[in-house]
A and B are shown apart, each in its own frame.
Chain A
Amino acid sequence: EPEVTQTPSHQVTQMGQEVILRCVPISNHLYFYWYRQILGQKVEFLVSFYNNEISEKSEIFDDQFSVERPDGSNFTLKIRSTKLEDSAMYFCASSPEVNQPQHFGDGTRLSIL
């Protein structure tokens, strides 16, 4: 069964450094998403992306965050200058259409020191 893959599984970064999290969505899906889950808290929506544009973003997704689809298969989340509070699990998801089921990857655990 097709799946969403994310790399790396764990990323350790110094505070203030830039980090890029990578995702390969399911190949025939058109909508892509990033969510995060701080330890012990609920999964929170960050951003959705369709047709090379952000379609929706949350208040968490501030100017430090950006997303990109650099080629036909990858979808990336960049955090420009990481803060301690950015430590979380980051999940990528994709769906074939809006309001269709979203399928998640296994996440990247981001640890900011």
Chain B
Amino acid sequence: SYVLTQPPSVSVAPGKTARIACGGNNIGSKNVHWYQLKPGQAPVLVISYDSDRPSGIPERFSASNSGNTATLTISRVEAGDEADYYCQVWDSTSDHFVFGTGTKVTVL
């Protein structure tokens, strides 16, 4: 089965840039989506189709996807960005959705 690997945690100072990697075999050939999950809240789609920002998502959120790694970038990090972030793809081989292992972003 297809596996997506993320670093367990990323720490960043306010105003700096956080980058979250999502590794998968030839992930660049797939559409990658990113979700933000805060405690007690519904998950939020922050990036779809590799780099598209849904309505209402700040421009500080951007992403790219190439080769074996997709990357979510959060620029000018704010305290409110502290959350767990998950990448996701559709694996057409198995007709399954796959989520990454998740990354906890801590704002110092």
Partners in one complex: no
Residues of A participating in the B interface, judged by any CB pair closer than 8 Å: none
